[in-house]
Every structure is written in structure tokens, then in C-alpha cells.
Structure 1
Amino acid sequence: MGYHPVSIGIIGMGHVGPHAANSLILQGIADEILVCDENEDKLRAEVQDLNDSTVFAPHRAVITNCHTDYEKLAQCDVIINASGQVTLSAISRTGELFKSVDDARLFAGRIAAAGFTGYYVNVTNPCDVVAREIFRLSGLPSSHVMGTGTCLDSARLRTVIALKTQLAPESIQAYMVGEHGNSQIAAWSSVSIAGKLLNELSDNPRFAMDGAEAESLARKGGYIAYHGKQRTEYAIANAATRIVRAIVHDEKVVLAASVQLNGAYGQKGLFASVPCIIGKDGVEEVLEIDMNDVEKQGFADSCDVIRGNFEKLAPFSVESSRTMPIVLPKHAEDDRRLD
């Protein structure tokens, strides 16, 4: 019948990676999941637990321990990057940036050299900078690399509006855009319900709300989870899984994701979150939604924050990422390595 098993790779099995694997299993999306992590004990444990759980899944799935043999993931249709160390964000403003980029520099070139032609979904923060680095080192078309970006933040915005209006979240179109971080903004002037802009419905008490407050609640949702348990895991894992599902099932769904901008919204040469169509060809189209002047400036400022982060990175060539052993350069501001 020419059936092609759906093969998904996951790099990083700390917290988000295992939840993404479990979501892929329970939704029946993947036939096989290939996982990598530097912590062999944790990796072995997760592989055991996940394989045991497949007895209760919609169909058989096999989880394979690939250790740090990243080249084995070259056969995958989609690779989720969930590597990194989120606790560094509480210690140093730039610590997570350098750790996450260094992780990407250790695997992206190796997987590329092994012949990978599939798609990357990056979860690791800072999401926009890491997605850009994976794209740069992978040699893939820009449509093949995306980050979860504000996919989850947009869901949080819809949830805030849904709770206020007592509507189902899927009845609301609303997007957080820009950096996946503190500088993201709500594209409030484009929020709509049943084809009507929310601003046009404000005479009805049900739809009257404080846009600034809703934006703040959407932006801070992740910090509430982090404050209580020093991580976010379930929601972001499901956001990554949602993007994977859109690719392997060619859904052509509109989601906010971190994608390369090539002139859209007046921005070039960086990854930032905007609504886009995702299907079997990855990022199939970037959609430009209407924003007022304040929102446009906020989006531009957010993009400048992203640029400022990747400008902190030490130079690292594509050739260096494919030359074994990989020698990582020291970032000038990397306080993880200072005595």
C-alpha cells in the first residue's frame, strides 16, 4: 500500500520533550519517536515509561533511544527541539540564551550532514533566536524551520477573552505577535468573533474588556506556571504537538508561530511570531494581519529585542557545525563560564 510511517525526533527529554512524546502517542500522530538527550539515565527512564504507555495508545508507536547519536534523527519527518536548561533564566538574563544556542550548534550541523530534509519545530528558549540558528546551520529552506513562538501565548490570549465573554476559545481569533518573551504584544485591533472585530462589539457588555489587562494576563501565563513549579511543560508540549500535527496531516491551519520574516511586517532577517499557514510544506504562507500604529511600533520594538539577542552570539560557521569534534566558541557575555 506504500504506507509511510510517521517518524518524529525529539531532542531534549527533560520536561517538555517527554510530554511532547506522550502527546504524540496519545493523539495517534506518530508511529515512531526517536529521542536524544545527554542525560542517559533520564533518557533511558523516559524511553521505558513511554514504551510501556503505548499499550493504551490509539495505535502502536515505538520509542527509540538514540542517545546523542543525532545523525539517526535524519530519517525523521519532523524534529522537535526541546533541549536547554530553563533554570538558567532565573540565574542570568543571558544564561539560557547561550546554553540553548550552544545545544543547537552541537546537533543542527550533524543532522544536516546526515541528510535531513524534514522539518524542525523549535521549543527551546529564546525560541526566536534558537529557531534562527537552527535554520542557519541546517541548510534547510526557511519554510522547514519554525518555532512554537507565541502559539501558546496566543492560546492564552484566547482563553482570557473566552473566560470574559463566556465563549469557547475556538470561536475567537486572537494573536500575540513578535518575540516569544516579555516584548510580545497582542494584535488587539485584529481580535475577532464571528467575523466582527472585538472593538466593534464593545457596546455589548459581554464583549467589553480591558485590552491591556488581557494582554498582560496572556503574557504572564507562563510565569505563573514557572513560579509554582520552576517549569512549563504540558501546554507548550501540546503547542509543539499541534504544529507537528498540522505538518504531517497537511492541515493548512493558521497558527501563530516563530517563522523567518522576509519583508512581511517590514521585517527581514529574523524569526518572529506572526500568524501563518502550516501544512505539509511547513510554513506555507505568512499572513499579515491589520495592526494600528501603536501595535506596529510595538511589533517593531519586539523584533529589535530579538535582533539584540542574536547579536550577542559568538560567530560560528556552518562548516564548524559539521566538523567533528565540534568546538564551540565562547560568547563574549556568557557568564556561565566566568570564574
Structure 2
Amino acid sequence: MKSRVNRVILIGTGAVGSSYAFAMLNQGVAEELVLIDLNKEKSEGDAMDLNHGMPFAPSPTKIWFGDYSDCEHADLVVLCAGANQKPGETRLDLVEKNTKIFKAIVEDVMASGFDGIFLVATNPVDILTYAVWKFSGLPKERVIGSGTILDTARFRFLLGDYFNVDTRNVHAYIIGEHGDTELPVWSHADIGGKLISKMIKEKEQYSQKDLDNIFLNVRDAAYHIIERKGATYYGIAMGLVRLTKAILQNQNSILTVSTYLSGEYGHRDLFIGVPAIVNRYGIREIIELELSEDEQSRFSHSVDVLKDIMTPVFNQKS
């Protein structure tokens, strides 16, 4: 008989966090979900509201408003707290504000005796994931950022729409910073095993110009959504649930997460979005794709942009 249950702690119940909690309940991913937020009344209301939907859920989930002491027996802490991206503001503009917020949060989590996995969603996610790793002292494999998981999903959706195929049968990655310097890995993008680069050469209705526009729409999607509704939250919430399932169910899934590089792709000492195998122990292995010369150059530029921001914050020497 199972002696313990999967407990997930959600810190930050704003638009992203509450959307994540709703998706978690609808998919029946964890047995326990604890909500933590400075706005106690809002989080208590969320817990009540979610519990009232329990009769319609696929499986029971115990949900409550808690505190940092609940982290001691948690398997996963999901960080959605922090300042939001405002219209006209880039994700990197948020770094100073959110690094300070995260230092206090991570110290409180670790003081509980937490020994699980951190999943970071707050922007700028690559830099804040590095911060969580530094502040927590946990092994790098057990600190994961949402990285380019949403960008990759957007990419696959738009490619599926363009080629009129199920988006789940599109295999293509966005890697690099979750932000303006991210890049598409066209050299490995395929549908049903057939390279997209070959598909556009075989049929006149397809073109590289269209593909370039698809990538631009992926890269700038957050800005377009923020202009229209103030924030993005449904897509990333579902991406976080996908990552949660990969971890709690030991799926060994390949997802484009923000993870620590130790020489892969020619770089080290930063967290950045690359394909990696995710399971119950965190990051099992990084998938090192053979990039084209242009892709490698663009990836290196993405690394440089992140390091330029990180250096004064973390006093990096490399």
C-alpha cells in the first residue's frame, strides 16, 4: 500500500498560479496541492473555489491555503510569485525586482527542511532559476525552469496550423533564453519524421518566408497577448502541469526546460532553455542537438545576453 502522497506547493496565486492550480485539479495530477501567497484572503478564496469543483474532478485532490512549514514534506515547489511583466517591459527588466523577492521565498522554503524539486515559472525565468539554485543549495538537477516550454508549444501550434496537421505530431524546438534572443532549431524540425526544410521545397504553397514569420509570431507572442489582455497565463499554466506530470510520474519526458549547462552546447554556469529528459529526480540528462553554424551562433548570443544581465547580480567570473 502507498505510504505517502505527492504534495505540490504553489507559491504565488496570481493569474499564472491560479491557472496552474485549476489545471492541476482538472487533470488530477497530485494528491495534495498547497497554496501560499502574501495575499492570504485571495489564496484562501482560491482554495475554497477549487475545492467546490472537486465533485467534477477526475480524482480527489486535497487543496488548502498553507504556509512555508508545509514545504517540509513536499515533492515539488512551483514558484509563480513575483512582479508581473508590464506592457512595453521585457522579461529581463524584471530581474532585479524578482531576484530580491526570490531570495526571501527560497530561504523560507529551505528553512522548512524541503528536499524536493523546484520548478520556476516567474520571469526572467532563466535568471531566476539560476538564483533559486544559488539560494537553495540544491543539486542543479533539482532546480528546473519552465524555459522555452511555452515557446516550443506556440511554435508547434503555429506549424501545425500552417501545415494543417495535429500540433502534437509536430516535432520542433525553440531554445535559448525565454525571451527576445530565443531561436528556432529548424535543422531538426520535422513532421512525421520528415524535415520541414524539405517539405517547403517540395510544395509551392510553403515558403521559408512564411516559416520566418511563424517564428516571429512565436517570439513576440507574449507582447501581443499582454497588449490585448494584460498577461499570459493559460498556456504557461498547462506547460507547468505537463512538467509536473513528467516529474511526479517519472515519465522521462523530453521538454525544453531551463536547466544548468556544464559545457553542453559549448557553454557553462547558466540556466537556459534546451531539450532535456525530465523525471522523478529532476533533470536526468540534457539532449545536445547538433546545431547548424547559424543556430550555434544565435544560441551563443542568447547565452551572452543572459550572462551580461547575470554578471552584476551574481558577480560571475566566467
TM-score range, shorter chain: over 0.9
* Partner residue, 2:109: 111
- Per-residue CA distance 1:189-222 (angstroms, 9 max, x = gap): 1111222322122232265443321211111122
Displacement of 1:227 in angstroms is 1.0
- Output the CA distance in 1 between the equivalents of 2:21 and 2:248: 15
- Output the CA distance in 2 between the equivalents of 1:283 and 1:28: 23
More displaced stretch, 73-82 vs 122-131: 73-82
Displacement of 1:311 in angstroms is 2.1
Tell me the TM-score normalized by structure 1: 0.88
Match of 1:161 among 159, 162, 169: 159
1:21-36 mapped onto 2 (5 Å cutoff)? 21-36=21-36
* Partner residue, 2:74: 76
SS of equivalent residue, structure 2 residue 313: coil
Displacement of 1:260 in angstroms is 0.5
- Per-residue CA distance 1:119-153 (angstroms, 9 max, x = gap): 11110000000001101111211111111110010
Displacement of 1:310 in angstroms is 1.7
User: Are 2:120 and 2:146, in contact at CA under 8 Å, matched by a contact in 1?
Assistant: yes
**RMSD between superposed Cα atoms in Å:** 1.7
SS of equivalent residue, structure 1 residue 24: helix
Show structure 1 runs of 5+ residues with no match. Answer: 316-339
Is 1:281 the equivalent of 2:281? yes
SS of equivalent residue, structure 1 residue 251: coil
SS of equivalent residue, structure 1 residue 125: coil
* Partner residue, 1:85: 83
Show structure 2 runs of 5+ residues with no match. Answer: none
SS of equivalent residue, structure 2 residue 160: helix
1:27-176 mapped onto 2 (5 Å cutoff)? 27-66=27-66, 69-88=67-86, 90=88, 95-176=93-174
Structure 1 residues 87 and 278: alpha-carbon distance in aligned structure 2, compared to 1, 3 A threshold: closer
- Output the CA distance in 2 between the equivalents of 1:298 and 1:249: 34
User: Are 1:11 and 1:82, in contact at CA under 8 Å, matched by a contact in 2?
Assistant: yes
* Partner residue, 1:332: none
- Output the CA distance in 1 between the equivalents of 2:53 and 2:223: 30
* Partner residue, 1:237: 237
Structure 1 residues 89 and 266: alpha-carbon distance in aligned structure 2, compared to 1, 3 A threshold: farther
- Output the CA distance in 2 between the equivalents of 1:87 and 1:152: 16
Structure 1 residues 88 and 100: alpha-carbon distance in aligned structure 2, compared to 1, 3 A threshold: farther
Displacement of 1:99 in angstroms is 2.1
Letter in 2 for 1:13: T
Letter in 2 for 1:102: K
1:150-229 mapped onto 2 (5 Å cutoff)? 150-205=148-203, 208-210=207-209, 211-229=211-229
Letter in 2 for 1:49: D
Number of residue pairs aligned between Structure 1 and Structure 2:
313
Displacement of 1:273 in angstroms is 0.2
- Output the CA distance in 2 between the equivalents of 1:265 and 1:65: 42
Displacement of 1:179 in angstroms is 0.3
User: Are 1:89 and 1:96, in contact at CA under 8 Å, matched by a contact in 2?
Assistant: no
1:287-306 mapped onto 2 (5 Å cutoff)? 287-306=287-306
User: Are 1:89 and 1:95, in contact at CA under 8 Å, matched by a contact in 2?
Assistant: no
Displacement of 1:52 in angstroms is 1.4
User: Are 1:198 and 1:207, in contact at CA under 8 Å, matched by a contact in 2?
Assistant: no
Structure 1 residues 94 and 2: alpha-carbon distance in aligned structure 2, compared to 1, 3 A threshold: closer
Letter in 1 for 2:300: A
- Output the CA distance in 1 between the equivalents of 2:259 and 2:91: 24
User: Are 1:8 and 1:80, in contact at CA under 8 Å, matched by a contact in 2?
Assistant: yes
- Per-residue CA distance 1:65-100 (angstroms, 9 max, x = gap): 12xx32322311111100012145646876521222
Which contiguous aligned blocks of 4+ residues in structure 1 show a shift greater than 3 angstroms?
Answer: 87-95, 206-209
